């Protein structure tokens, strides 16, 4: 029986390195901001796809801290804009 495409990818060295990078990214962000793991995963997916992210939440939920932690974690230049929401 031949392995499926997913099984071949999961066994590849490239996949293992990508998974390790994603895990380090998550762990690094979680040292600064706790309880936002799902949001960090979505940001990481958006960055890989070349997309944009807009954090929306009530005041005091560490949106700016999260954005700055992400910006300091990645070694490439992604613009991070943090500004207060208009009331």
Query: In this predicted model, what pLDDT tens digit does every residue of 48-60 receive, in sequence order?
Result: 888 888 888 888 8
The confidence score (pLDDT) of residue 1 equals 43
Contact 14, 20 (CB under 8 A): no
- Measure the CA–CA gap between 69 and 63, rounded to whole angstroms: 10
Say whether pTM exceeds 0.75: no
Q: What is the pLDDT of residues 17-52, one digit of tens each?
A: 888 988 988 999 999 988 888 888 888 888 888 888
Residues 6 and 69: their CA atoms lie apart, in Å, by 32
Mean pLDDT across the chain? 80
Residue 86: its pLDDT value, please?
59
Query: Which residue bears the tokens 């994603």?
Result: 22
Mark 53-79 as b/e (b = at least 16 C-beta within 10 Å).
Answer: bebeeeeeebbeebbebbeebeeeeee
Phi, psi of 33 (to 5 degrees): -120, 120
Checking if the pLDDT of 81 tops 70, the result is: no
Q: Which two tokens stand for residue 47?
A: 């960055």
């Amino acid at each position: 029986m031949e392995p499926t495409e997913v099984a071949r990818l999961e066994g590849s060295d490239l996949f293992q390195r990508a998974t390790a990078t994603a895990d380090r990214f998550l762990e690094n962000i979680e040292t600064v901001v706790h309880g936002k793991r799902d949001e960090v995963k979505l940001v990481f997916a958006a960055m890989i796809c070349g997309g944009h992210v807009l954090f929306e939440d009530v005041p005091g939920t560490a949106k700016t801290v999260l954005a700055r932690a992400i910006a300091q974690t990645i070694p490439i230049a992604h613009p991070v804009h943090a500004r207060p929401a208009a009331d």
